[in-house]
Amino acid sequence: MTDEERVREMVRRVVYQTVGRPAPDPAPRGRTLVTQRTLEDTPVGGELEIPHGAILTPLARQAALERRISLVEPGPAVGTQPTSRTARVGGPRTVAMGADHGGFELKELLKEGLRDLGYDVLDCGTGSTEPVDYPDFALSVAGLVAQGRAWRGILVDGAGIGSCMTANKVPGIRAAMCYDEATALNSREHNDANVLTLGAGLIGPGLARRIVETWLNTPTGGGRHARRVEKIMAIERRFLRA
């Protein structure tokens, strides 16, 4: 193993440790390992077809998220045309949601609204108003987004602050606490936020729904905004390498 490969392996394990998952062994024989380097020739906003059953490294998923690359797998060979494909990995209708006891009721309302709009919701809990710790649920949601298993994440606690802080500890996450439609729009257009946090004690259900819909429907601005977002992620990568 070269020095570069050893460094990449160390970073891989640090990222898995950060999102609370054990780092798997390198790809078993016969399975393709998709790394950050695999994505280098794919343009920003492009699409990359990955072999069925391929293993994606955390850095590859992070790179795909940062560069908005859609990862698709070929569809099953039997009974389908050769060009058919499965759904996108973490496709643009999959939203991970989580809340502590203070945000449980608002999460439930928002979850039903998203499903009515045709989104697939991955509910990470909590499931009641019994007291729990918000970092646990923030980590679950942020982990799904960072791994590419969810397109976006939404977190609800009493103020929205603690969940935002927690989510932003996960590599690849840009969480934004929003309290009106203007901040929701700005967080997407200027900052390409991929996790939204809300304070159930600060906003009502009607405003929360409008914030969520604005946030989900606003594309990132590109241009000077993309350059600045890349600088944010470069800072993160620098400390991951430290």
Query: Over the stretch 176-197, which tens digit does the pLDDT of each residue have?
Result: 999 999 999 999 999 999 999 9
- DSSP element (H, E) containing 122: strand 120-123
How far apart CA 37 and CA 139 sit, in angstroms, is: 27
CA distance 95 to 191: 19
Whether residues 16 and 113 share a domain: the answer is no
- Give 129-168 pLDDT, tens digit per residue: 999 999 999 999 999 999 999 999 999 999 999 999 999 9
Decide which of 44, 71, 88 is a domain's last residue. Answer: 88
79 domain-assigned: yes
190 part of the active site: yes
Mark whether 126 and 81 lie in a shared domain.
no
Q: Does 176 lie in the same domain as 141?
A: yes
| Same-domain status, 78 and 135 | no
- Structural domain includes residue 179: yes
Which bin fits 225, alpha (ψ -120 to 50), beta or left (φ > 0)?
alpha
Collapsing DSSP to helix, strand or coil, 154 comes out as strand
C-alpha 152/C-alpha 166 separation (Å) is 16
Owning domain of residue 77:
3-88
Q: Are residues 147 and 47 in the same domain?
A: no
Residue-wise pLDDT for 80-90, tens only, equals 333 333 334 45
Instruction: Identify whether 229 is part of a domain.
Output: no
Q: Is 31 a residue whose pLDDT tops 90? A: no
User: Could you give the C-alpha distances from 170 to 32, 158, 165, 177, in angstroms and in order?
Assistant: 26, 21, 10, 16
CATH number of the domain encompassing residue 139: 3.40.1400.10
Regarding whether 80 and 119 lie in a shared domain, the answer is no
Q: Are residues 50 and 77 in the same domain?
A: yes
- If one counts the domains in the chain, the total is 2
- Give a yes or no: residue 165 inside a domain: yes
pTM: 0.65
For a pLDDT cut of 90, what percent of the chain falls above it?
58
Residue 40 is predicted with a pLDDT of 80
User: Does residue 130 sit in the same domain as residue 211?
Assistant: yes
Burial class of residue 135 in the structure, from the number of CB atoms within 10 Å of its CB (0-12 exposed, 13-18 middle, 19+ buried): middle
Residues 75 and 134 grouped into a single domain:
no
The verdict on 101 and 208 lying in the same domain is yes
Same domain, yes or no: 73 and 109: no
Higher pLDDT, 213 or 56: 213
Which is the catalytic residue, given 52, 101, 190, 225?
190
Residue 51 placed within a domain:
yes
